Amino acid sequence: MEKRDTNMDGFTQKIEEMAETRQISLELLDYILHRATEEEREILFSKAREISQAVFGKTVYLRGLIEFTNYCKNDCYYCGIRLSNKNASRYRLTREEILSCCDKGEELGFRTFVLQGGEDPYYTDDRICELVRAIKEKHPTCAVTLSIGEKSYESYQRYFEAGAERYLLRHETANEEHYAMLHPASLSGAHRKQCLRDLKKIGFQVGCGIMIGTPHQTTEHILEDIRFMQELQPHMIGIGPFLAHKDTPFRDEPNGSAEETIALLAVLRILFPKVLLPATTALGTADAFGREKGILAGANVIMPNLSPVQVRGKYLLYDGKICTGEEAAECNVCLRARMTKIGYEVVDSRGDHPDFT
Ligand code: SAM
């Protein structure tokens, strides 16, 4: 009789239980992130793929990322565009440049534009609202996502009324002490979490998220992040490895691991079947095939860069960022081909969360 591998059966059982209960213990999370064998990782990924394909099919949504300003008033210890980085070459795109990125994006098949930037005081609420209105007027079938940091309830309300329907704000870490190790005292995790609750209350599709492998991060912290996500029930979860930037206080810290990030993507897919889950550029930077591996571990979104090529090399959150020299059209062709190669189809739709369609 064939000898059964009881360890493997036990692992499969645990993954099935996780899928059924949508809960994970600290022990299992730690095991998955740090000690699972290749075979066990494949069991995990295969369950995550099964769930992702049941909800979304073998499709991948595109988000056109427009990095419209790298001015920032904050001083996060990990970030290459932090205020104190005097080596950063600062830029901000004009309204016309941003609109022309959207025109190009729609031609390429994008139906979501993500406007991301540092917290740049030049971009007042009036300017942001005017911009959002102009984009929606020219591209009424496209979704506008903002990712411009912590604002007041009233500001978020204004952006929503102007037509923005999604907002990305990674909470970075749900643990207050850990938050204080990554940020100056002027910033608080509690406020960032409150912003996410406000955004959700206003009616945005909301994305939270973390970096994997930030200094002092423990598995307990990641479990706290998961618990926070279970409470918030975000529509999107953005995770990527922490990657050091040479002009930040964390310049000598080790990079986060692509393997851990991919394993966590699979865990998140299993715990949050309907969530929009990007395979990020940081993951593609940490591992040349990181985005493909992320999709095969349950992610269902990729975010090609639509920023003009002359500023791409300036939006450097971390060292070694990929795709800084390519035109939007090249990135588009390349990413679509990469997805086709692994058996997935990029779809030209807005890619809303299933509860919003
Ligand atoms: N200012 C907006 C905000 O605060 O949400 C958006 C821009 S911020 C630079 C976008 C995200 O980049 C952050 O939430 C953070 O998780 C990520 N990031 C910053 N520095 C990073 C680094 N060194 N490695 C990986 N990701 C990083």
User: Which ligand 1 atom is at minimum distance from the Cα of 248?
Assistant: 23
DSSP conformation class of 302: E
Q: Please determine, for residue 1, whether its predicted confidence score (pLDDT) is greater than 70.
A: no
Confidence of residue 357 (pLDDT cuts 50, 70, 90): confident
Phi, psi of 108 (to 5 degrees): -80, -5
Q: What is the mean pLDDT of residues 213-221?
A: 98
Q: Whose CA is nearest to atom 14 of ligand 1?
A: 170
Q: What is the mean pLDDT of residues 89-108?
A: 97
Q: Please determine, for residue 3, whether its predicted confidence score (pLDDT) is greater than 70.
A: no
Domains and CATH numbers, the chain: 59-351 (3.20.20.70)
Confidence of residue 139 (pLDDT cuts 50, 70, 90): very high
Tell me how far the alpha carbon of residue 140 lies from the centroid of ligand 1, in angstroms: 29
Pocket of ligand 1 (CB under 6 A): 78-79, 116, 118-119, 147-149, 169-170, 172, 211, 240, 242-243, 245, 282, 317-318
Q: What is the mean pLDDT of residues 88-101?
A: 98
SS3 144: strand
Within the chain, what is the greatest distance between any pair of CA atoms?
Answer: 73
- The span from the CA of 120 to the CA of 94, in Å, is 13
pLDDT of residue 326: 85
Q: Please determine, for residue 6, whether its predicted confidence score (pLDDT) is greater than 80.
A: no
Q: Please determine, for residue 334, whether its predicted confidence score (pLDDT) is greater than 70.
A: yes
The chain-wide mean pLDDT, for the chain, equals 96
What percent of the chain has pLDDT above 90? 95
pLDDT of residue 2: 52
Confidence of residue 7 (pLDDT cuts 50, 70, 90): confident
Q: What is the mean pLDDT of residues 53-79?
A: 98
Tell me how far the alpha carbon of residue 250 lies from the centroid of ligand 1, in angstroms: 14
- The span from the CA of 77 to the CA of 106, in Å, is 36
pLDDT in tens, 113-123: 999 999 999 99
* Residue closest to 208 by CA, chosen among 156, 157, 241, 173: 173
DSSP conformation class of 250: T
Element at 125 (helix H, strand E): helix 125-138
User: Which ligand 1 atom is at minimum distance from the Cα of 170?
Assistant: 14
Q: Whose CA is nearest to atom 25 of ligand 1?
A: 242
pLDDT of residue 336: 94
Tell me how far the alpha carbon of residue 69 lies from the centroid of ligand 1, in angstroms: 13
Tell me how far the alpha carbon of residue 216 lies from the centroid of ligand 1, in angstroms: 17
User: Which ligand 1 atom is at minimum distance from the Cα of 72?
Assistant: 1
User: Which ligand 1 atom is at minimum distance from the Cα of 210?
Assistant: 16
